[in-house]
Structure 1
Amino acid sequence: MFDWQPNFLENELIKLIPLRETDFEELYEVASDPLVWEQHPNKLRYQLEVFQNYFEGAMLSKGAFLIRDQKTKEVVGCSRFYDYNENDNSVLIGYTFIGRKFWGNGYNKALKKIMLDYAFQQVDKVYFHIGAFNIRSQKAIEKIGAIKVDEFEVEYYGEDAKLNFVYEIAKQDYE
């Protein structure tokens, strides 16, 4: 069984801490920038009521993490593990967003490395759902070795279904 939410995961750049209700204000401060969601399937997540839905889904997932900068302790963003599949021995990583201040500075790569290193202690495959028009995230995930394997409509928690590309990284290809 996949352990969705260890007490923390960290490297020299960031620390992932299980998301708590009390993190809402700090996280929304990062999420309230419309440009963070510019290429995302739900471009309105910067709006308070839309973000509240995202946050509720994150809390219910029991796999969401608040991402903090190790040096400044600033909130970088959020990500989560979800949809563990025992038959396929796989898990998804997603619902990720990172504040613009942290773009292009190695934070996304550090985040994915921490999460993949952890996941591959327990599963053989990791999948990512990435919006069909989110070119920035598609390029980033391809840089770390993910391969597009499918595309289909994904229904995010409390939102309409949107076309997503499915990317996969297999354990043997990652190590």
Structure 2
Amino acid sequence: MLERQPILEVASLKLRPLTPEDWEALFAVAADPLIWDQHPAHDRWKEPVFRTFFDDALANKGALAVIDKSSGRIIGSSRYQGLNPENGGSVEIGWTFLAREFWGGPTNRELKRLMLTHALASINECRFAVGETNWRSRRAMEKIGGRLTEKKEDRGMAGSPSSHVIYVIDRASFAGGPLSLG
């Protein structure tokens, strides 16, 4: 079954399990309000709100620190969560954020390629829940071949209503899609 906290690497990035010692470096990235501007939790840049997010990431044991290999610094985070072993298996990839200096370039594509390659080697499908009005993330999902499948209403971490759309990338679409390794 899927190892949710692997160490994954390409030339520019390293992903490794998030640890409590990563708090300061990761909060330094997350404290930028523009990162969360279109996100349903638009106040996640505030320390108490981010602390809840960080603690949840550690508790769920699927969070990864994203490290820029050229500088050696943490530039963001992502997670594998909600592993479902039924029907060949599926997992949600999400809670991803990156320092703004890494927006618009290859970093998000490389991050998602690493995570998808790892996950789809042992399960059939990866899901991505994106805030319904988070147009930046929705465009990013479409660029990497995500297929829009549904809308869901749920409760955010603070208990407030939140509306998401779900994108899916499965093993077959990944093999020939824009992130494929071939």
In 1, the alpha carbon distance for the partners of 2:70 and 2:4 equals: 26
1:81-102 superposed Cα distances (whole Å, 9 cap, x missing partner)? 0001111410000011011011
Length, aligned pairs only: 174
- Residue type of the partner of 2:167? Y
In 2, the alpha carbon distance for the partners of 1:168 and 1:51 equals: 27
Displacement of 1:159: 4.0
Pair 1:58-2:34 in alignment: no
- Residue type of the partner of 2:59? L
Task: Provide closer, same or farther for how the CA distance between residues 9 and 172 of structure 1 changes in structure 2, counting only shifts above 3 A.
Answer: same
Where does the alignment leave 5 or more consecutive residues of structure 1 unmatched?
none
1:19 matched residue in structure 2 = 18
In 1, the alpha carbon distance for the partners of 2:55 and 2:160 equals: 16
2:169 matched residue in structure 1 = 169
Displacement of 1:76: 1.2
- Residue type of the partner of 2:97? F
Moved beyond 6 Å, runs of 4+: none
- What SS does the corresponding residue of 1:115 show, helix, strand or coil? helix
RMSD: 1.0
Matched-pair identity in %: 36
- Residue type of the partner of 1:26? A
Task: Provide closer, same or farther for how the CA distance between residues 154 and 12 of structure 1 changes in structure 2, counting only shifts above 3 A.
Answer: farther
1:80-125 superposed Cα distances (whole Å, 9 cap, x missing partner)? 0000111141000001101101111211111000000000011101
In 2, the alpha carbon distance for the partners of 1:156 and 1:71 equals: 35
2:44 matched residue in structure 1 = 45
- Residue type of the partner of 2:10? N
- TM-score, normalised via structure 1 length: 0.96
- What SS does the corresponding residue of 1:123 show, helix, strand or coil? coil
- Residue type of the partner of 2:163? L
- Residue type of the partner of 1:134? N
In 2, the alpha carbon distance for the partners of 1:82 and 1:17 equals: 15
In 2, the alpha carbon distance for the partners of 1:120 and 1:166 equals: 18
In 1, the alpha carbon distance for the partners of 2:56 and 2:158 equals: 8
